[in-house]
Amino acid sequence: MNTVTVRASRQYDILIGSGLLPTLGAEAKKLGNARKICLVSESTVYPLFGKTAEDSLKAAGFSVVSYVFPAGEERKNGTVFLDLLNFLAENKLTRSDMVVALGGGVVGDLAGFAAACFLRGIRFIQVPTTLLAAVDSSVGGKTAIDLPAGKNLAGAFCQPSLVLCDTDTLRSLPEEIFRDGCAEVIKYGVLYDKALFSHLEEKGLAFDRETVITRCVELKRDVVMEDEFDTGARMKLNLGHTFGHGIEAKSRFSVSHGKAVATGLAIVTRAYPCADTPRILSLLEKFGLPTKTDYTVDDLYAYTLSDKKRTGGTVNLIVPRAIGSCDIVPTPVESLKSILQAGL
């Protein structure tokens, strides 16, 4: 097992390894005086891992209530969020009690935001069961729900008290969902780490999960500790997301986050070509990720304007200059059309 410690507004450990889920109760117990835990999960993940998580929590002496909602990004909405808050209230969780988010990014974002708001904030544990959640969304304290106007438009920065990543849970994922997470893994290589990028080129989908997840989490930990509230260095984690979020939103979330980010990364590197552009595109292709979209400049431009990272008339575009090195390029929104034209 590997442990990565984040020292931000809250200090917490990220545990990564095989066979960790049955230790959830014992690890939660180390966090202090909670008596009741609300396990939050969704309809595809709960049947696979819900019982192991509940049994482990009960064996450690917690009283457990479970809230399970239908799977899908479209459920990360205000209605499910309010329903979860009501569930926490009806079950009389107190300020010392905790929420456990068991699932991928949708569960983690929604449960984290509910925990951040309930009683003005109770503690929560992230138990990511997808690669995407393991390397990105479970770490760093961004919690959110989507609004009809766009993705993640209501949320809070609220760090978890523990992240427990059992790499065995990722094995039961359909390969499609695993590939989705690979887009975020490739992103870390392009942003910060030539060696990670080369490892992915060499191993393809057979990369060592514990090692690669740990490396991605270390890279994210460093960024979060430097810029927890996303006003500087953390913005680089948005690589591929500016146009990616546009593709996701335009498709009404029928294009998955990972595929959209992969295409967004391909668009930006084609629009700002560098010597490593061909390597970036071929690694995305090696992982079976899309580098093209049928959407037009006009389709994507409209959605890109509602990017929440827009400040006034400027979007901070993240541009690869070489593998392991990217710049934040403040870009007037009027230029986005010609950038999309060059990159599509």
Give the interface size with ligand GLY as a residue count (CB under 6 A).
6
Interaction between residue 142 and ligand GLY (CB under 6 A) = yes
Paired residues of 251 in beta bridges: none
The yes or no reply on residue 236 touching ligand GLY (CB under 6 A) is no
Residue whose pair of structure tokens reads 């498709």 in the numeric block: 251
**CA–CA dist 242, 136 (Å, integer):** 16
Task: Give 89's DSSP letter.
Answer: H
Per-position x/- string for 10-49, each x denoting binding to ligand GLY as judged by CB under 6 A, each - no binding: ----------------------------------------
Q: Which of 112-120, 135-143, 250-258, 300-308 is the region at the interface with ligand GLY (rule: CB under 6 A)? A: 135-143
CA 227 to chain centre: 17
- What is the smallest separation between the CB atom of 140 and ligand GLY, expressed in angstroms? 4
For residue 143, which of 180, 106, 177, 118 has the smallest C-alpha distance? 106
Q: Minimum CB separation from ligand GLY for residue 142, in Å?
A: 5
Asked if 234 touches ligand GLY (CB under 6 A), the answer is yes
Smallest distance, Å, CB 74 to ligand GLY? 20
Rule CB under 6 A: choose which of 42, 109, 136, 228 binds ligand GLY. Answer: 136
Cβ at position 137, least distance to ligand GLY in Å:
6
Pairing relationship of beta strands 11-17 and 2-7 according to DSSP bridges? antiparallel
Closest CB 7 distance from ligand GLY, rounded Å: 16
Q: Which stretch binds ligand GLY (CB under 6 A): 69-77, 89-97, 134-142, 245-253?
A: 134-142
Among 103, 104, 128, 140, binds ligand GLY (CB under 6 A): 140
Burial of residue 290, with CB atoms counted within 10 A of its CB: 0-12 exposed, 13-18 middle, 19 or more buried:
middle
DSSP letters for 139-176? SS-EEEEEETTEEEEEEEE---SEEEEEHHHHHTS-HH
The three-class DSSP label of residue 190 is helix
Which CB sits closer to ligand GLY, 168 or 230? Answer: 230
- 48 by Cβ neighbours in 10 Å (0-12 / 13-18 / 19+) ranks as middle
Instruction: Enumerate binding residues for ligand GLY (CB under 6 A).
Output: 136, 140, 142, 230, 234, 237
